[in-house]
A and B are shown apart, each in its own frame.
Chain A
Amino acid sequence: MKKKIVSVMLSAVMAAGLLAGCGGGSKDNASSGGGSAKGDYDMTLYSINTTDPDFDEWLKNVEDATGLKIHVIAAPTDSDTRQQKITTVLSTGDTSVDVIEINDEMSASFKNSGWLEGLNDTVMTEDIRGQFPQGYLEDMITDKSGNIVGVPGYSGYLAFWVNQQIMDEVGITTIDTKEDFMKYMKAVSGNGRYGYGGSWEKTYSFNEIAQFVNMFGGDYFDWTNPANKEAIQFLHDMVADGNTPIDQIADKYEQMNPKINDGKYGSWFMWGLGTDYEKAGMLGADKVHMAMVPDFSGKGERAIFTDSWSYVLSKSSKNKDAALKFLKYMADEGGMEASYKAFDRYPARADVAEKIVPDTDPAKEMYSRYAAECNVKGRPMLPQTMEFISDIGTIFQSCMKDEITVDEFCTKAQEMVDKYSK
């Protein structure tokens, strides 16, 4: 009997212990590490920029301009973790988040999911829409019903970069065509230096595979297209001829950029405005700078990819009016200027970029030319983005190492397109 009483008491203590935990905290003071304090607020923003040193200044600007009190939650900046978390938030109809910043990979996964609110009639109205890169809007943030589901927060290009010192050394003034490119490769490569360098780690290689397929006039989703094969053969031959190193299959941008700063590469494709080169004292018209993408088609067609992070509105949001007010501001000149000043994000709207980016910004001229002279597109992505990218990257590496032929690569790549399109 006594034992039974003790058993009951022990159970009671266990239960009390658990309940004691329930009184241990408060949601009201929960926010920490990069967000504004939780309390009375109009909407919640799930942002990747909270750890930026200028984030608070940006937030103040947005709050002052919109009159909104914005609660901010720090999103993981690690891509896999972030995608899992945001997928959960959106798919469960979580109402604790209103606006989310998503990248192209997430956009490809979410835009047709029905989890995001269409913004055609409210924010991305016709007059505003025309100022954004049309290829990007169509490829990346328009759902199958034609609804635009996001507001691009900035505009980035997978720009073509060259090392001017190397160009001067080999006496080449311009890389305008495929022939110029090949001539440059031959002149530069040798003694540990390469005409072209890249990041061919299995997920990063996607950008360059797609870029070369694009430059050759191919279609990333149709590997029976001869132009696709030509592009892969071209990359393969660059490795075989020693114009680009095979050991870059281990490189991401962190490994690639020091090689660029050391003058190991004559040309490359890269996102961003070259902050790493600037820090190393390598950015400049006479050193490392952006250049016009060569015309590989021979028809005057220049292909370039653009990327962005877009603000999207969760369909489950209970603060839609406030969220729309925020989104309108981010699509407007004031919001874009705030982001440009705080985060160095180049404005996505051409008219705003022209107005607010000073002529002294080294990216301005080339970004304007990219917008005007190139066929600007969003990257080719499928709903199961990361799996697709990773699998193509794996067989690309095998092909570059001569473990499979270019034909086998194309066959397998088509199988992957079919698999991940379903």
Chain B
Amino acid sequence: MNDSKKYRVYRGCVTAGRWILFAVVAFLILFPVYWIFISSITPPGELFKMPIDYLPDNPTLDSYKFLIENVGLFAKIGNTILIVGITLLISTVICSMAAYAFSRFQSKGISIAFAFIIATMLIPEVVTARPLYEFMQKVGLYDTYPGLIILYISAVIPFTVLILRNFAGEIPISLEEAASIDGATFTQRLFQVVLPLMKPAIATVCIINFITCLNNFFTPLYYSNGIQVLSVAIVQLPLRDNMYGVPWDLVSAMGWIILLPIIIFVAVFEKQIMDGIMAGGVKA
């Protein structure tokens, strides 16, 4: 066998290996998603049939119909969009400017402030839950949109500031100096030079924060009663006949409803996510 043939065989083996690895990883990730979907369209009586049916005999959309008719699905979607939308808007504005400040200005106080913000990522939610619950009630923010939005924002700030600060630090200061020489004011440098260059990172954190907020279960569950969002809805499905049975068909349907926007979002913004992750040095 000559060298070029050996090389072709080697390349073929590498390619085949890659595809096999890809197929295994894809299967591991996609099979649970497939199973959630199949469970959501399977009548409850057939869910635990043995041997397992990988395609339901009598597919039905009854679970989705039930969620729309009885669980206030559209109201929950509306609440979710409102809270997540405002959270993303405010947190992005605040964090972009904070990240710029943290990357460009140096002082002991700023370093401490930055360390303080990052350190809050290390505090488990349950540790602060009880005092925060009482605080939210005392200040009248419990079970209100502003209260939830503030909590959502505070949850995404540390991660967002960290990523954007790292990214802003990579933008050469010489660009700002050149703009300065051309007569740009500080505000012009910030809004017309730096922030446009931060777009990929901002897009990335927006997408990641969108997913984080959509998946946030603890905050809306703990700090609200009346305002219900999609993530909590999954634990508010009706108990079955004996009050101990889990309605897995409804849980699967609700899971799929929560999953779908994330899949669409990631599929649409995949390039920006990857660009941002590479550029910002996010270890995904």
Interface of A toward B, CB cutoff 8 Å: 2-3, 6-7, 10, 13-14, 17-18, 20-27, 30-35, 38, 46, 48-53, 55, 73-78, 81-82, 85, 88, 92, 94, 96-97, 103, 156, 204, 252-255, 257-259, 261-262, 270-276, 279-280, 307, 309, 344
User: Closest residue of chain A to B238, judged by CB?
Assistant: A51
Which chain A positions have C-beta within 8 A of B133? 88, 92
Q: How far is the CB of B202 from the nearest CB of chain A, in Å?
A: 15
**A14-B98 contact given A21-B149, A32-B72, CB 8 Å threshold:** yes
B232: CB under 8 A from chain A?
yes
Which chain B positions have C-beta within 8 A of A7? 101, 105
Could you jot down 17 A-B contacts, CB within 8 Å?
A6-B186, A6-B190, A14-B98, A22-B141, A25-B82, A30-B144, A33-B72, A34-B70, A49-B238, A51-B236, A52-B238, A53-B70, A77-B238, A81-B235, A204-B244, A270-B242, A309-B243
**Complex CA–CA separation, A70 to B196 (angstroms):** 52
Q: Is the CB of B137 within 8 A of A21?
A: no
Which chain A positions have C-beta within 8 A of B143? 27, 30, 96
Tell me the interface secondary structure of chain B in the complex: helix
Interface string of B126-157 (1 = CB under 8 A from A): 00011001100100011111101110010000
Which chain B positions have C-beta within 8 A of A53? 66, 69-70
**Complex CA–CA separation, A216 to B144 (angstroms):** 54
**A32-B236 contact given A6-B187, A24-B145, CB 8 Å threshold:** no
Query: Of the candidates A2, A10, A21, A35, which one forms a contact with B150 in the assembled complex, judged by CB atoms under 8 Å apart?
Result: A21
Total number of A-B contacts with CB less than 8 angstroms? 183
Most buried by A among B146, B228, B243, B245: B243
Interface of B toward A, CB cutoff 8 Å: 44-50, 66, 69-73, 75-76, 78-79, 82, 86, 90, 93-94, 97-98, 101, 105, 129-130, 133-134, 137, 141-146, 148-150, 153, 186-187, 190, 221-222, 224-228, 232-233, 235-246, 248
Which chain B positions have C-beta within 8 A of A272? 240-243
Q: Is the CB of B149 within 8 A of A77?
A: no
Q: Is the CB of A35 within 8 A of B226?
A: yes
Which chain B positions have C-beta within 8 A of A31? 226-227
**A32-B90 contact given A156-B242, A261-B45, CB 8 Å threshold:** no
Q: Is the CB of B150 within 8 A of A18?
A: yes
Query: Of the candidates A2, A33, A156, A262, which one forms a contact with B233 in the assembled complex, judged by CB atoms under 8 Å apart?
Result: A33
Q: Is the CB of B137 within 8 A of A276?
A: no
Which chain A positions have C-beta within 8 A of B233? 33
Most buried by B among A21, A31, A75, A257: A21
**Complex CA–CA separation, A279 to B145 (angstroms):** 42
**Complex CA–CA separation, A257 to B246 (angstroms):** 12
**A34-B243 contact given A6-B187, A7-B105, A255-B48, CB 8 Å threshold:** no
Which chain B positions have C-beta within 8 A of A52? 70, 238
